[in-house]
Amino acid sequence: MKTGDSSNLNLLPSQAKFQAAKMKLKVTLRKYMLWVSIVWATIVVGVLVMYFGSDLVLKVQNNNYDKALASYKGMSQDIVLTQLLKYRAKVVGQVLSNRFEYSSAFMMVNSIFGDRAKVEKFELDENKQFNVEVTAGDKETVDFVEDRAAEVNEGSFEGVKSIEIIGASYTLYGNWLIKMRIILE
C-alpha cells in the first residue's frame, strides 16, 4: 500500500463491512433473479407461442385435409359412376354380340340362291332354324338349288351351317316348290 492512497483503506467497523457485503449480495441476487425471471418468462412465452401456433397450424392443416377429402369423395363418386357405366356398356356389348341378328340372317338366307331361285316363305322356329320354300321355274334351277345345298353342306358358304332339303313338288303353275331347313352358324 502506498502512502497517500486512501482508496484501499477501509475504516468501517466489521459489522458495517458485513452489512455492506450483505447489501452487495442482495443487489447481485436481485440481478440474477431478474435475469432468471426474464429467461423463464421468455421460455414460458415461447412455449405458449409454440403451443398455440402449432394448434393454429394443425387447424389449418385439418381444414386443408377436410377439403381435399371432400374433393376426393366427390371424385370417387364420379370414378365409381364411370366404372359402373363402363361395366354396363361391357354387359350391353356382350348382350348385343350374343344376340341373334334377324335382319342379317334373313338377308343371308335370301342371298344363298341369288336371283336364280326365289325364296318365297320364311319361317323361323325357336331353335333359330329357317324353314324355307324356294320356287324354281325349270329343272335347271332345281339342279342349281340342289348343287348349292351340297356346296353349303361342304362348308363353302360362310355363316350357314347346313341345308336340309325336306321335299320338292311340282305346282299347277309349272313351278317347282322346294321345302328345306337352313341352319345358320
Percent of the chain with pLDDT over 90: 23
* Domain identity same for 22 and 95: yes
Could you give the number of structural domains in the chain? Answer: 2
Local structure of 175: helix, strand or coil: coil
CB–CB of 151/162 below 8 Å?
Answer: no
CA neighbor of 120 nearest in space, from 101, 137, 135, 102: 135
| Higher local confidence (pLDDT), 9 or 125 | 125
Q: Does residue 70 fall inside a structural domain?
A: yes
CB–CB of 132/122 below 8 Å?
Answer: yes
Local structure of 124: helix, strand or coil: strand
For residue 17, how far is the Cα from the chain centroid?
A: 92
Q: Please, which residues bridge with residue 130 across strands?
A: 124, 182
What nine digits make up the cell of 119?
325364296
* 151-169 average pLDDT score: 84
* Domain identity same for 135 and 159: yes
The span from the CA of 95 to the CA of 101, in Å, is: 12
Q: Does residue 2 fall inside a structural domain?
A: no
* Domain identity same for 78 and 113: no
In the chain, where do the E strands start and end? 118-124, 129-136, 160-170, 176-184
Whole-number average pLDDT of the chain: 83
- pTM higher than 0.75 for the full model? no
- What range defines the domain where residue 58 resides? 13-99
